[in-house]
Amino acid sequence: MKYRRDILKTALLATAALATAMWSAGAMAADKVKVGVFPVSSALPYFVAAERGYFKEQGIDAEMVKLMGAPPIVQGMLTNDLDAGANLVTVDGMNGNTKKEGLLYYMSLYGQNKFAQMEQFVAKNGIDAKSVKDLKGTAKKIMSAPGAGNMAMARAVLGAVGMKEGTDYTLTELAMNLHADAMKAGTFDAGYTLEPNATVMNKSGAANTVEAGVVSKYIIGREEAYAYMAGGAITGKMLRERPDVARRFTAAWRKALKDIEQDPTTRELLKGNTFTPPELAMTIPLPRMMMVDQLSAQDKKDFQKVIDFTIESGVIKDKIDTSKYLVSPDRKAAS
Amino acid sequence: MLLVAVWWLATVLKVADPVLLPPPQKALQALIDGLVGGPLLFDFGQTIYRTVLSFLIASAIAIPLGVMLGAAEKLYRSVEFVIDFFRSTPASAVFPLFLVLFGVGDKTKIAVAAFGASLVILFNVAYGVMNARKTRVLAAKVMGASRLRVLVDVYLWESLPQTFIGMRNGISLSLVIIVVAEMFIGSSNGIGYRLIEAQMLFEMPTMYAAIFAAGALGYGMNWVFLTIEKTFVHWGGK
């Protein structure tokens, strides 16, 4: 009888020990966050946070899902396959929010202008253009970065200097990987392109930059303004259902952005992780990366202006108040 | 109809997010709106123009070449590997090569589609000639017909049923290549362009409308060829 009681006691103790071990293992397990990453230079915050252990120290198990462009990231958020996006184009993100209210929120925005160069017009050798207006009469065949947003921006900039589509120029949408080859082959006279293509073209002699930061100058109306064209985003689902995970994920992101601002060696992480040619990693222009609570009131107005422009040009179908979609879960809500 | 019913049921049961899978009536409405006063009609026309042009180029090259190679079987066998190799190569894999040769724009799209279609037509025409009934060829020769006369009056007619099969496959392949090219290499119009743009902007009813349009176009082209085939090569297989 005593023997049987001892066995029972041992079994109970073993079960309790196992349960305790499982509970503590569960408590220790990091929270999974799936991050959509388009492996270009603006994805740098993800690689800094991951490689320098900032996610880990916040108890976040970040899993990278490499995707080609912004629309697949929005789609991944719609199907609940992603919790965040490292570098989601704001036009696509806001368009996603017009399709499904509260789909995603930006915790950081990346601004570009002539100092933090990203979008720019380039011209083939032989065209001596100092600004976009010099393309009038000299550039007939023009290529553009792909996507309705980019095409609308290119048209608006050319329109602002008095060039009429069909009469003064034709605009062809072209995949980014073909830009350098197309300019080198002389297929186009000029092009609206993005980094790192512009740097590659300038270095290889395929084309020369005519003017960078054209969205700030011609669409926002101030050269020094930042055009916030991409940013780090989290889903509304994570924000609502796992607010503490969203808070810790954002804290890690903030730390990565601070490193990028203060420590140029973070650029080393562009090598191998992104499409940036390794030899250009240390010199290629990067956008100004800001957490949304660091943005000034003017920055937010400028951001709204860019999105309003895409609404006016029919890219986004419905009006949207962008301020509703800027959040800082690790701080107070950005106002 | 069954597919539409399953689709409708899936939207009612919310199998997928309604943004990604709208009800079929919304897609139908987008199709009607796109065709009546919308951009889809123009895109439809552009895709037909590119497909038909590439198909005509392919036929003009492949039919005479196929007859000649088929009539000289030894010559055909010597180049068979090259034909089969390129016929088996996915057309999308040769996009970069054609982009280098023809640049971006319509030329590349039409050239790749013509290249893909011509190999299919050539292969079918050559086999049509090689499989010409020996008795008919022999009868012509016995009656003293010249080599040219045998080629034109016997081989060409004998190969026509197989040629039409090749042309029917060729135009379907041309359409596939043109739509893929419109989607992924520089374009400003066409069904493929409309489809990828709608997908990128999450205009899902428009995307499904473009898929419908592409499907209807493919079916329509196949039907036209079947009708021509039944009317003009009614002796096929007899």
The sign of the torsion formed by the CA atoms of B148, B153, B155, B161 equals positive
CB–CB contact A71 B200 (8 Å): yes
Report strand pairing: A208-212 vs A60-66.
Answer: unpaired
Q: Please identify every stretch of chain A with a pLDDT value under 70, giving residue numbers as ranges.
A: 1-28, 332-335
Q: What is the reported pLDDT for A148?
A: 82
The whole-angstrom distance between A69's CA and the closest CA on chain B is 9
Give the chain A residue nearest B184 (alpha carbons). A175
CB–CB contact B20 A79 (8 Å): yes
If you average pLDDT over every residue of chain B, what do you get?
Answer: 89
Q: What is the reported pLDDT for A282?
A: 94
CA dihedral A98, A100, A104, A105 (to 10 degrees): 50
Is A154 at the interface with chain B, CB within 8 A? Answer: no
CB contacts of B200 in chain A (<8 Å) are 69, 71, 92, 147-148
Strand partners, A209: A122
Q: What is the reported pLDDT for A167?
A: 93
The whole-angstrom distance between B60's CA and the closest CA on chain A is 28
- The answer, yes or no, to whether the previous bond of A196 is cis (omega within 30 of 0) is yes
The whole-angstrom distance between B203's CA and the closest CA on chain A is 9
**Kind plus residue range of the DSSP H or E element containing A198:** helix A197-204
The rounded distance, in Å, linking the Cα atoms of B78 and B65 is 14
The rounded distance, in Å, linking the Cα atoms of B6 and A296 is 51
Is A283 at the interface with chain B, CB within 8 A? Answer: no
Q: What is the reported pLDDT for B38?
A: 84
Nearest Cβ partner of A74 from B103, B186, B202?
B202
pLDDT 10s digits, B64-73: 999 889 888 8
CB–CB contact B99 A178 (8 Å): yes
Nearest Cβ partner of A187 from B103, B193, B202?
B103
Q: What is the reported pLDDT for B169?
A: 94
Going by pLDDT thresholds of 50, 70 and 90, the confidence category of residue B105 is confident
CB–CB contact B105 A71 (8 Å): no
Mean pLDDT of B77-105: 87
Q: What is the reported pLDDT for A11?
A: 61
Is A185 at the interface with chain B, CB within 8 A? Answer: yes
Edge-to-edge order in the sheet of strand A288-291: A60-66, A31-37, A84-89, A227-235, A104-112, A288-291
CA distance to A140, B70, B83, B150, per residue, from B162 (Å)? 47, 12, 17, 18
Coil, helix or strand for A213?
coil
Q: DSSP states of chain B as a string?
A: -HHHHHHHHHHHTT-S-TTTS--HHHHHHHHHHHHTTSTHHHHHHHHHHHHHHHHHHHHHHHHHHHHHHHHSHHHHHHHHHHHHHHHHS-GGGGHHHHHHHH-SSHHHHHHHHHHHHHHHHHHHHHHHHHTS-HHHHHHHHHTT--HHHHIIIIIHHHHHHHHHHHHHHHHHHHHHHHHHHHHHSS-SSSHHHHHHHHHHTT-HHHHHHHHHHHHHHHHHHHHHHHHHHHHH-TTTT-
What backbone torsions phi and psi does residue B64 show, to the nearest 5 degrees? -60, -40
Coil, helix or strand for A86?
strand
Going by pLDDT thresholds of 50, 70 and 90, the confidence category of residue B230 is confident
- How many beta-carbon pairs below 8 A join chains A and B? 61
Q: What is the reported pLDDT for A10?
A: 61
Closest by Cα among A113, A60, A107, A62 to A88 = A107
- pTM of the full structure: 0.81
Q: What is the reported pLDDT for A149?
A: 84
CB–CB contact B17 A143 (8 Å): no
The whole-angstrom distance between B177's CA and the closest CA on chain A is 17
